[in-house]
Amino acid sequence: MPKVSLVVCLRQEVQLLERLLKHAWGCYDDLVVVHDGPEDGLPGHSRPSIPRNVLPPACLWPGIAGDYSSPAKEVPVTRLWKEGKKPLASGSIQHLVQSAGGRFFQGPRCFQQEPHWPFAWSQARHDWILRLDADEFPGEQLKQWLMEFRKAPEPEDISGYCCAWPLWDGQRTVSDKWPDGRIFLFHRQRVRFFGMVEQSPVADRVFSRLDIHLNHQPSRKSYGLRNILARRQAYRWREVIALSLLGSPLNLPRWRWTDQTWPSPWRQIRSQPFRYAVNAIVFMPLHTTKAMLKLGIRPRPGIIFQSAIHHCLLALRYWQLSKRKGSKNTRDETPA
């Protein structure tokens, strides 16, 4: 019977984490929570004021790169994550996690969760990783499936499982069956990954698709143009992706990833950013509309255009940074 480690990487969101743990109770055997930077509002941890145009992504520090699936002695950068030992005052995330029998770690500030995943997976006690965000939680159907999974024989021929991930308008879900493909449970020795925002684990074998959905209910709408044009986090994500694409996946924290080649679509952005940007604007809305109509969902502009605009802006930002880098290299190589 497979044992499961629930792994959550988050920033603040104590109330959402409390909801998640309540709904996920009985679905896992081990709990690991990693916090992105210091927990704000605690003694000695004042909330820093970061200008909108300043990005200090710890995920791009040279010292954070490494394969965290290797033995600890081969990945000395694990010192960047500090485990919370002493319980803190009631109301903190650390107190909540330890009260639930889990382990709490404070990591470097990355403005995203993906760079923390390789370290978090290395701290899990079991190979099967239940990877959930703080603003997600399993419904009764998924909870029942997870309980049955832990009682069944160990599956040998798959890397993990994915499900639907309904859009949330702030009060209700838009659809129970779309979008799909959300990887929520996987065997860590059967996937490969590098820690960049919007990158998903890559299967050694296959991911099995389930006709079940995972509740995704943040404190705001989970979709819409505002999410990609007005949120500071969206600009940080695009910046960090573009900066990462200037180098190699091996410059990032990784899990069993040894290839310097970028997978698609990152490779397409690097090779032809303008063509990628145009294709994103033209074809992504068409594909999204077709998928929604097939499931009987009414297409909405905020849904069908958000991914297209996001990827277009990302490709253009990569082009800007690559041209700037090329100009700098040219100046550096010019004889005095």
Domain span at 320: 225-333
The last residue of one of the domains, among 216, 240, 258, is 216
Pairing of strands 128-131, 202-203: unpaired
| Shared domain check, 149 and 27 | yes
pLDDT of residue 21: 98
Co-location of 39 and 136 in the same domain? yes
- 119 in the same domain as 233: no
Residue 176 vs residues 173, 214, 290: alpha-carbon distances, Å: 7, 9, 17
Residues 175 and 319 in one domain: no
CA gap 28, 147 in Å, rounded: 8
Residue after which a domain boundary falls, among 216, 246, 281: 216
Q: What is the pLDDT of residues 123-162, one digit of tens each?
A: 999 999 999 999 999 999 999 999 999 999 999 999 999 9
Are residues 21 and 65 both part of a single domain? yes
In this prediction, residue 60 carries a pLDDT of 78
290 burial (CB, 10 Å; 0-12 / 13-18 / 19+) is exposed
Say whether both 103 and 206 belong to one domain: yes
On whether both 246 and 128 belong to a single domain, the answer is no
172 and 94: one domain?
Answer: yes
**Residues 193, 231 within the same domain:** no
CATH number at residue 162: 3.90.550
Q: Same structural domain for residues 160 and 40?
A: yes
Last residue within a domain, chosen from 216, 251, 272:
216
* pLDDT for the residue numbered 98: 93
Same domain, 84 and 122: yes
Q: For residue 72, with 0-12 CB atoms within 10 Å meaning exposed, 13-18 middle and 19 or more buried, which class applies?
A: exposed
Does 179 sit behind a cis peptide bond, omega within 30 degrees of 0 on the bond before it?
A: yes
Residues 120 and 167 in one domain: yes
pLDDT at 104: 95
pLDDT digits (tens, 9 = 90+) for 177-191: 889 899 999 999 999
What is the structure's pLDDT at 58? 73
The low-confidence residues of the chain, meaning pLDDT below 70, are 40-57, 72-78, 87-88, 327-336
Number of domains in the chain: 2
